Amino acid sequence: MSDPLPREIRCVLVPVGNLRLLLPNATIAEVITQSAPEPVAGAPAWLLGRIAWRGWRVPLVSFTELAGTEEGDAELSVRVAVLKALGGDPKLPFIAVLTRGFPRLTTLNAELIIPTHDGKPLPPGVRAHVLVRDDVAMIPDLEWIEATLLNLLDSAEPAESVASSDSND
């Protein structure tokens, strides 16, 4: 016998540009300050590079660049939301997303999420546009983002750290 689906789910609204990403709370590993990303050779503009986080080299994604949305308020602090990857690939256990401001916890049920899709094709990496209370939000297509990142990172040349190579020249 399977357990019934929960009536409510704890979610996080992560500010990206003028919109928010709607994610289950369980996908957020940590929100950190932004560090300079290590470039990835041949990467598209939305893949800002890799950041060091807890011993991992995590790809940093600009969702506004990926989905073609506006950057939003430049006065807000830039942060990074580290997300647990859903695909189970050991090469990509985490994905980082650039954010402005602080993510906000919320508890939702089906009645509080209103689809707002107008029938036009969705941008890459977006599964749905929704209205959550008074917030316009996007549900990201994390599976597509993960698969695309794995392909990009597999085809990119390994960019190893060269921090110690400039001593004793």
**Number of domains present in the structure of the chain:** 1
pLDDT at 2 over 60: no
Classify residue 18: in a domain, yes or no: yes
* Residue 68, domain CATH: 2.40.50.180
Whether 168 maps to a domain, the answer reads no
**Given this model, what pLDDT does residue 77 score?**
77
Q: Whose CA is closest to 140, among 75, 74, 88, 62?
A: 62
On whether residue 145 sits in a domain, the answer given is yes
Contacts of 44 (CB under 8 A, 6+ apart): 152
Q: Report percent pLDDT > 70 for the chain.
A: 85
Over residues 46-102, the pLDDT tens digits come to: 999 999 999 999 999 999 899 888 776 666 678 999 999 988 889 999 999 999 888
In tens, the pLDDT along 35-57 reads: 899 999 889 999 999 999 999 99
The torsion defined by the Cα of 80, 97, 70 and 43, in degrees rounded to 10, comes to 120
What's the pLDDT band for 164 if we cut at 50, 70, 90? very low
Q: Is 134 exposed, middle or buried (0-12, 13-18, 19+ CB in 10 A)?
A: exposed
Q: Is the pLDDT of residue 169 over 50?
A: no
Retrieve residue 54's tokens: 């807890």
CA 109, 112, 113, 119 dihedral sign is positive
- Position 52 in a domain: yes
pTM of the model: 0.82
110 assigned to some structural domain:
yes
CB neighbours of residue 33 within 10 Å: 8
Is residue 81 situated within a structural domain? yes
- Domain membership of residue 3 (yes or no) is no
Encode 33-59 in three state secondary structure.
Answer: ECCCCECCCCCCCCEEEEEEECCEEEE
Q: Is residue 164 part of a domain?
A: no
Q: What range does the domain containing 117 cover?
A: 9-155
